């Protein structure tokens, strides 16, 4: 297993799904892990189950002030951040572009794009001052192709992917390892919401069609290692069987 001993990792959206699986795996790999999410009960439960070195920090990732306060708490409790995993994201509103609630559309942008920027903006200066760090952002195939009913989600994921590219362009030579991960469809609460919508082909998938959240977690852990250095600035795709073999989720 990749050794993260001595590293401080922040995982946003850590109350369930990919975020929870990533926080648990990073902690098992030796990192001190801060779990950020709005669902206080869930992150406190998960942190207590992980045990020593896990910190639950309630945070609305779509608020600049909340992100700043949360990361200040992380720094004071665990130390400066070495690894940031931008995982927090939402899918609602799902519906035709001209029919969805504009406020809900804007709220998704606050979380899925602004939240990624806020976290990057907050941790990168400290990383650069200490010689570097790793910033991983969970992306999606929706970043590159429009999907019916997902105007907000597709737009947000395209924006988050561009933030990864911009971060790499501007800060790679300052020690920042920026990469994206497109996990494909994952068995999480988001897929239940998609299924319930009944809109587009993704909603017609069976639960067994989705990969477990532990697979993206393993991919994100691998991306923290020197083996992934050749992929800086890229978006790695977990649908790629060769990549699945490389991280050991299939034979």
DSSP letters along 161-183, please?
HHHHHHHHHHHGGGTEEEEEEE-
Task: Look up residue 37 and give its two tokens.
Answer: 């999410």
Q: Which letter, b or e, does each residue of 19-37 get, where b requires 16 or more Cβ atoms within 10 Å of its Cβ?
A: bbbbbbbbbebebbbbbbb
| Contact (CB, 8 A) for 149 and 200 | yes
Dist CA 15 CA 165 (whole Å): 27
Question: Residue with structure tokens 């927090």?
Answer: 88
CB atoms inside a 10 Å sphere around CB 89: 26
| Contact (CB, 8 A) for 62 and 110 | yes
| Contact (CB, 8 A) for 122 and 167 | no
Strand 32-37 with 133-138, pairing: unpaired
Would you please indicate which residues are annotated as catalytic (active-site) residues? 153
| Contact (CB, 8 A) for 138 and 219 | no
Q: How far apart are the first and last CA of the chain?
A: 16
Strand 32-37 with 8-12, pairing: parallel
């Amino acid at each position: 297993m990749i050794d993260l001993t001595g590293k401080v990792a922040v995982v946003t959206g850590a109350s369930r799904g990919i975020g929870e699986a990533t926080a648990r795996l990073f902690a098992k790999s030796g990192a001190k892990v801060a779990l950020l999410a709005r669902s206080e009960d869930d992150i406190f439960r998960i942190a207590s189950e992980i045990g020593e070195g896990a910190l639950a920090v309630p945070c609305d990732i779509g608020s600049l002030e909340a992100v700043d306060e949360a990361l200040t708490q992380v720094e004071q409790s665990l130390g400066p951040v070495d690894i940031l995993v931008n995982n927090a994201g939402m899918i609602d509103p799902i519906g035709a572009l001209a029919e969805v609630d504009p406020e809900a559309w804007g709220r998704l942008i606050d979380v899925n794009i602004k939240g990624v920027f806020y976290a990057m903006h907050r941790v990168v200066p400290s990383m650069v001052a200490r010689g570097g760090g790793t910033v991983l952002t969970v992306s999606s195939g929706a970043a590159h192709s429009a999907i019916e009913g997902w105007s907000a989600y597709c737009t947000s994921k395209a924006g988050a992917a561009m933030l990864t590219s911009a971060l790499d362009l501007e800060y790679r030579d300052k020690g920042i390892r920026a990469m994206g991960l497109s996990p494909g469809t994952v068995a999480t609460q988001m897929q239940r919401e998609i299924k319930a919508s009944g809109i587009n082909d993704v909603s017609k998938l069976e639960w067994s069609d989705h990969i477990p959240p532990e697979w993206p977690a393993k991919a994100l852990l691998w991306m923290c290692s020197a083996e992934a250095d050749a992929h800086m600035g890229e978006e790695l795709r977990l649908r790629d069987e060769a990549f699945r073999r490389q991280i050991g989720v299939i034979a």
